[in-house]
């Protein structure tokens, strides 16, 4: 199908199905061109929750679609590539986190937003890159585990001399 015809068909289907297309920044330019919104994962999920769309098509990875569903429980969320994953989010699984929590019940689990819904559900607090420092400082003096973003976790641990595993 010719590109211009495909774009017209996508626009027709979006209107017919009352759908919104979200594209993460790392998507190809052609995908971003047809998207209603382009940005980072949390922003996109927040924007989609404020639309009147019945269907959210998220051109991103699995945890992004999960976040959109959490923020828009009554909407249908579609992920074009079902098995699309994120290496960082995949660094921690719900099974590994449950096992860790059983062995370390005294640790506060701080979870970066770019994680699966299961990992978020097992965590005590979920942070973003823009609020992590403020929230981590609130827990100073407590034992913590920071998952899965080792770079941000290590930076905060060293900056505030925290008892925090990453």
CATH class held by domain 3-78: alpha beta
pLDDT tens readout for residues 89-130:
999 999 999 999 999 999 999 999 999 999 999 999 999 999
User: Are 3-78 and 89-165 in the same CATH fold?
Assistant: yes
For the segment(s) 89-165, the CATH number from 3.40.50.150, 3.40.980.10, 3.30.70.3040, 3.40.50.10800 is 3.40.50.10800
Question: Taking all residues of the chain, what is their mean pLDDT, rounded to a whole number?
Answer: 95
What local confidence, expressed as pLDDT, does residue 164 receive? 96
Q: Could you give the angle at the alpha carbon of 15 between the alpha carbons of 9 and 16, nearest 5°?
A: 85
Q: Cβ neighbours of residue 151 under 8 Å, at least 6 residues apart?
A: none
CB-based contacts of 135-142 (< 8 A; 24+ apart in sequence)? 135/110, 136/110, 136/160, 136/162, 136/164, 139/108, 139/110, 142/108
What local confidence, expressed as pLDDT, does residue 1 receive? 75
pLDDT tens readout for residues 123-161:
999 999 999 999 999 999 999 999 999 999 999 999 999
């Amino acid at each position: 199908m010719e590109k211009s015809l495909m774009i017209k068909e996508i626009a027709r289907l979006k209107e017919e199905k009352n759908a919104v297309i979200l594209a993460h920044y790392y998507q190809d330019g052609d995908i971003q061109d047809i998207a209603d919104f382009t940005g980072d994962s949390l922003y996109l999920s927040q924007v989609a929750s404020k639309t009147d769309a019945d269907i959210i098509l998220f051109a991103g990875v699995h945890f992004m679609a999960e976040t959109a569903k959490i923020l828009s429980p009554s909407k249908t969320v579609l992920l074009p590539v079902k098995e699309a994953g994120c290496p960082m989010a995949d660094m921690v699984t719900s099974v590994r986190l449950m096992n860790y929590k059983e062995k370390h019940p005294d640790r506060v689990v701080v979870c970066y937003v770019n994680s699966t819904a299961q990992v978020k559900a097992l965590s005590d607090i979920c942070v973003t890159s823009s609020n992590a420092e403020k929230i981590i400082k609130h827990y100073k003096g407590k034992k913590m585990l920071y998952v899965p973003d080792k770079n941000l976790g290590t930076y905060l641990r060293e900056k505030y001399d925290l008892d925090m595993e990453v």
